[in-house]
Amino acid sequence: MKKILCLVLAFAAMTSLFACGGSGSGSGGQGSASVPDPRSEPDESAGAESGGDPEPGEVSAEVSESSDPVSQEEPVSQEESVPDDEPVSQEESVSVPDKKEYIDGKKLIVFGDSITALGSWGRTAAEELNMYFFNGAMGGITSAQGITRFPAYVAGHGADFVTLLFGMNDLIMESAGKPRVTPEQFEKNLTELVKMVRDCGAEPILLTANPLDPDKFWAAQGQSKAMYESVGGDPLAWEEVYNDVTRKVAAETGAYLIDMFAACDGVPYNRLLRDGIHLADAGNKIFAETLAEWFGSRFDRDPNAEKVSEYGDLTDVSVQGGRASLYSGEPDGWYTVDPLLMNIEKSDGAINISNTNGLWPYAESLPEKPVSVSFSDGYLNYDISTVGVSTSIILFFNGSTPSAYTEGTYVSINSKIGAKYNEVGDITPGQDLKGRIELSKLGISAQNVKDGRLIITGIKVYAAGSANKPVVLRELSVSEG
The per-residue pLDDT for 320 is: 61
The pTM assigned to this predicted structure is 0.72
CA–CA gap between residue 61 and residue 74 (Å, rounded): 29
CA–CA gap between residue 134 and residue 400 (Å, rounded): 9
pLDDT reading at 4 higher than 90? no
Residue among 336, 366, 288, 297 at smallest CA distance from 119? 288
Q: Residue 16: which H helix or E strand, with range?
A: none
Angle between helices 281-296 and 121-129 (to 10 degrees): 40
- Centre a 10 Å sphere on the Cβ of residue 127 and count the other Cβ atoms it contains: 15
Contact 346, 352 (CB under 8 A): yes
**pLDDT: is 341 or 311 the higher one?**
341
Instruction: For 347-363, write each residue's pLDDT tens digit.
Output: 999 999 999 999 989 99
Per-residue pLDDT, averaged over 441-460, amounts to 94
**pLDDT: is 279 or 1 the higher one?**
279
pLDDT reading at 478 higher than 60? yes
Residue among 340, 306, 235, 277 at smallest CA distance from 139? 277
The per-residue pLDDT for 73 is: 36
pLDDT reading at 332 higher than 50? yes
The per-residue pLDDT for 407 is: 87
Residue 20 burial (C-beta neighbours within 10 Å; 0-12, 13-18, 19+): exposed
3-state SS of 397-445? ECCCCCCCCCCCCEEECHHHCCCCECCCCCECCCEEEEEEEEHHHCCCC
At 205, the amino acid letter reads: I
The per-residue pLDDT for 413 is: 96
Residue among 375, 392, 367 at smallest CA distance from 460? 392
pLDDT reading at 265 higher than 60? yes
Instruction: For 85-137, write each residue's pLDDT tens digit.
Output: 444 333 333 333 466 899 999 999 999 999 999 999 999 999 999 999 999 99
Reported as a pLDDT band with limits 50, 70 and 90, residue 309 is confident
Non-local CB neighbours of 367 within 8 Å, separated by 6+ positions: 315, 324, 325, 326, 327, 328, 456, 457, 458
CATH 1.10.287 applies to domain 315-480 = no
Query: Torsion-angle region of residue 20: left (phi > 0), alpha (psi -120 to 50) or beta?
Result: beta
DSSP letters for 166-235: --TTTT-EEETTEESS-HHHHHHHHHHHHHHHHHTT-EEEEEPPPPP-TTTHHHHHT--GGGGGGGTS-H
DSSP state of 332: G
**pLDDT: is 319 or 169 the higher one?**
169
pLDDT reading at 325 higher than 90? yes
**pLDDT: is 436 or 82 the higher one?**
436
CA–CA gap between residue 105 and residue 309 (Å, rounded): 9
Reported as a pLDDT band with limits 50, 70 and 90, residue 322 is confident
The per-residue pLDDT for 83 is: 41
For the chain, the helix, strand and coil percentages under 3-state DSSP, each to the nearest 5:
30, 25, 50
pLDDT reading at 297 higher than 90? yes
Per-residue pLDDT, averaged over 222-228, amounts to 93
**pLDDT: is 4 or 446 the higher one?**
446
Chain CA centroid to CA 464, Å: 29
- The ranges assigned to domains in the chain are 107-296, 315-480
Instruction: For 15-54, write each residue's pLDDT tens digit.
Output: 433 333 333 333 333 334 334 444 444 433 333 333 333 3
Strand bridging mode 362-365 / 464-465: unpaired
pLDDT reading at 338 higher than 90? no
- For the chain, the farthest-separated pair of C-alpha atoms sits apart, in whole angstroms, at 104
Residue among 455, 458, 430 at smallest CA distance from 378? 455
**pLDDT: is 243 or 74 the higher one?**
243
The per-residue pLDDT for 98 is: 61
The per-residue pLDDT for 262 is: 98
- Centre a 10 Å sphere on the Cβ of residue 5 and count the other Cβ atoms it contains: 10
Instruction: For 369-405, write each residue's pLDDT tens digit.
Output: 899 999 999 999 999 999 989 999 999 998 888 888 8
pLDDT, mean over the chain: 83
Least confident span in 95-99, 146-150, 236-240, 475-479:
95-99
- CA 437 vs CA 375, 381, 391, 440, 443: distances in Å: 12, 7, 19, 8, 12
Instruction: For 5-18, write each residue's pLDDT tens digit.
Output: 344 334 344 343 33
The per-residue pLDDT for 401 is: 87
The per-residue pLDDT for 319 is: 63
At 434, the amino acid letter reads: K
107-296 to CATH, choices 3.40.50.1110, 3.30.9.10, 3.40.50.1390, 3.40.50.970: 3.40.50.1110
SS3 120: coil
